[in-house]
Amino acid sequence: MAMSDFRQEFIEFAIQRNVLCFGEFKTKAGRISPYFFNAGLFNDGESLRRLGQFYAKAILGARLPFDMLFGPAYKGIPLVSAITIALAESGHNHSFCFNRKEAKDHGEGGNTVGAPLAGRVLIVDDVISAGVSVRESVELIRSAGAKPCGVVIALDRMERGAGEKSAVQEVQHMYGIPVISIVNMDSIMHYLQDRDGLVNNLNAVQRYRAQYGVA
């Protein structure tokens, strides 16, 4: 399947699952957004299986060298599990781990579960908003003597944060690592252009991007 095909398929999948919705939604920044993306609605076995496959396609398509994957608690835990299974089914077996919110002081102890953090570590998340989860992940990985080598997310909003850069651009600039996304707002706008019934949504997204978007 071509890269462009799987991205279009992911958008259709997200719309069908009501993960990607169009209308009027107030963001944490107080902006009125014409769309909303809630990856938490990928909440059954089949949708999680397919989500892992889409992530795997994006990772393999980026050709980014990595040794293992890391999923920050809590959202990253099911994501990193599903992605490593999908990668293994594609013939690419990788170890993974995730962190605890609080370090365990009994049993095996520690603040991570799974394989020990080592080598080049790819961080998994759904979106990057303020970049807090990425910062905490980078610090945890580096403190273990491993190297964060990139971040993979479902959607790059391509939207300005507090400054002129987007949250994704800020992460790339701050840590010097690439951010891979299954889709971004350019992908979604391209999808809307080919759907006659979604012209009003496209116009609303175009106006929003003209005001808040980044290249």
Give the active site residue among 28, 106, 165, 190: 106
DSSP conformation letters of the chain = --HHHHHHHHHHHHHHTTSEEEEEEE-TTS-EEEEEE-GGG--SHHHHHHHHHHHHHHHHHHT---SEEEE-TTTHHHHHHHHHHHHHHTT---EEEEEEEEEE-STT-EEEEESPP-SEEEEE-S--SSSHHHHHHHHHHHHTT-EEEEEEEEEE--BB-SSSSBHHHHHHHHH---EEEEEEHHHHHHHHHT-GGGHHHHHHHHHHHHHHB--
Relative to beta strand 20-26, strand 179-184 is unpaired
* Annotation marks residue 104 as catalytic: yes
Relative to beta strand 68-71, strand 95-104 is parallel
Give the active site residue among 26, 92, 104, 173: 104
Catalytic residues: 104, 106
